[in-house]
């Protein structure tokens, strides 16, 4: 994706690069940082009716795959129709959602390149695409947390990154409900976003840290019905190491899986690249229209060029 810790670290930095006056209060900053988790909470939506859960997860997949400009335009339009008292929260949340996309589209090809290389090199991982992807992102999370904060998941549990208020959830839920219908034709109750974030938080509380008894128990139950445990793959190790093979700190060559271009960029290089491009993307979002479409440039959340 990358995963939630790296996105939070990115959001802490991207928020400081916004023009003055766009995020003006502590609650608006919380809304930005929650939106900065992107559509990902919807992947975790399970404690609801089967139909609602299916619609939430479908929205997460479809937002990642395409119709990016249409979705951001719907989000922008939704903010413009909010009551004045909620407009600041809505604007901050929408910009956070865009910040998630800004990092995803730059970093995702790198993660996919590693994922494909690892699966090709191992005979027993042919059916573990999601799990390998999650392990790579978890390792990057752990390393980024130590590199930028000198902290571990004991100090900063992943679930603690999902701070929100009732108002943030209410406003964000209304916006995501509009995006779901206007851009993707998906019916999504305005309460589903809050439920998805709660489910995501519950999941990370259950699986952290990696290697704990509770994480092992959750993984064991999951492996009763699947070959590999995705939940265990999502969990984070407690690490204080400066080394991270997944981050490509030695600048080995890798190939962009969607364009074929080669690169020696490390993950840190890509993180900085996304930050460098963020102000222009945010400005295009505030202007909307053709400027937003040109800034999105047909790249989905995976960094894959697609027809919109």
* Residues forming beta bridges with residue 255, ordered by sequence position: 262
Query: Within a 10 A sphere around the Cβ of 283, how many other Cβ atoms?
Result: 14
Alpha helices, DSSP H only, in the chain? 4-16, 26-35, 50-65, 68-80, 84-121, 129-149, 166-184, 192-207, 213-222, 230-234, 267-287, 289-296
76: left (phi over 0), alpha (psi -120 to 50) or beta: alpha
Which tokens go with 168? Answer: 């943030």
pLDDT value at position 253?
Answer: 98
Q: How confident is the model at residue 126 (pLDDT cuts 50, 70, 90)?
A: confident
Q: In the chain, at which residue ranges do the beta strands (DSSP E only) sit?
A: 254-255, 262-263
pTM of the model: 0.96
Return d(Cα 26, Cα 31) in angstroms, integer. 9
Q: Quick check: 11 pLDDT over 80?
A: yes
Tell me the pLDDT tens digit for each residue of 209-251: 998 999 899 889 999 998 899 999 999 999 999 999 999 999 9
Q: Quick check: 109 pLDDT over 70?
A: yes
pLDDT value at position 59?
Answer: 99
Return d(Cα 30, Cα 81) in angstroms, integer. 21
Share of the chain above pLDDT 70, in %: 99
Average pLDDT over residues 38-64: 98
Q: Quick check: 1 pLDDT over 70?
A: no
Return d(Cα 198, Cα 45) in angstroms, integer. 9
pLDDT value at position 23?
Answer: 95
| 252-256-262-265 Cα dihedral, nearest 10 degrees | -50
Tokens 């603690």, located at residue: 160
* Residues forming beta bridges with residue 254, ordered by sequence position: 263
Return d(Cα 268, Cα 247) in angstroms, integer. 7
pLDDT value at position 174?
Answer: 98
Q: Please confirm whether the linkage preceding 2 is cis (ω < 30° from 0).
A: yes
Tell me the pLDDT tens digit for each residue of 282-296: 999 999 999 999 999
- Geometric angle at alpha carbon 158, from 270 and 160, rounded to 5°: 120
């Amino acid at each position: 994706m990358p995963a939630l810790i790296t996105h939070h670290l990115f959001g802490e930095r991207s928020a400081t690069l916004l023009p003055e006056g766009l995020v003006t209060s502590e609650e608006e900053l919380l809304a930005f940082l929650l939106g900065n988790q992107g559509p990902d909470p919807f992947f975790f939506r399970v404690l609801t009716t089967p139909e609602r859960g299916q619609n939430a997860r479908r929205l997460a997949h479809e937002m990642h795959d395409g119709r990016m400009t249409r979705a951001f335009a719907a989000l922008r339009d939704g903010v413009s129709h909010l009551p004045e008292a909620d407009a600041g929260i809505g604007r901050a949340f929408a910009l956070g959602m865009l910040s998630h996309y800004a990092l995803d589209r730059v970093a995702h090809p790198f993660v996919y390149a590693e994922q494909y290389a690892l699966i090709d090199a191992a005979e027993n991982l042919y059916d573990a695409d999601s799990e390998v992807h999650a392990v790579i992102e978890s390792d990057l999370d752990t390393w980024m947390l130590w590199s930028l904060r000198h902290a571990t998941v004991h100090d900063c549990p992943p679930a603690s990154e999902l701070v929100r208020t009732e108002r943030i959830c209410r406003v964000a839920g209304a916006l995501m409900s509009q995006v779901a219908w206007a851009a993707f034709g998906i019916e999504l109750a305005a309460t589903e976003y809050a439920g998805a974030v709660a489910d995501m938080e519950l999941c990370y509380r259950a699986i952290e840290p990696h290697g704990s008894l509770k994480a092992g128990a959750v993984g064991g139950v999951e492996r009763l019905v699947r070959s590999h445990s995705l939940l265990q793959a999502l969990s984070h190790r407690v690490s204080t190491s400066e080394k991270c093979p997944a981050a490509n700190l030695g600048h080995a060559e890798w190939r962009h899986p969607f364009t074929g271009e080669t690169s020696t960029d490390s993950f840190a290089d890509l993180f900085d690249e996304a930050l460098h491009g963020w102000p222009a993307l945010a400005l295009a979002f505030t202007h909307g229209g053709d400027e937003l479409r040109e800034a999105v440039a047909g790249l989905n959340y995976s960094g894959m060029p697609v027809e919109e």
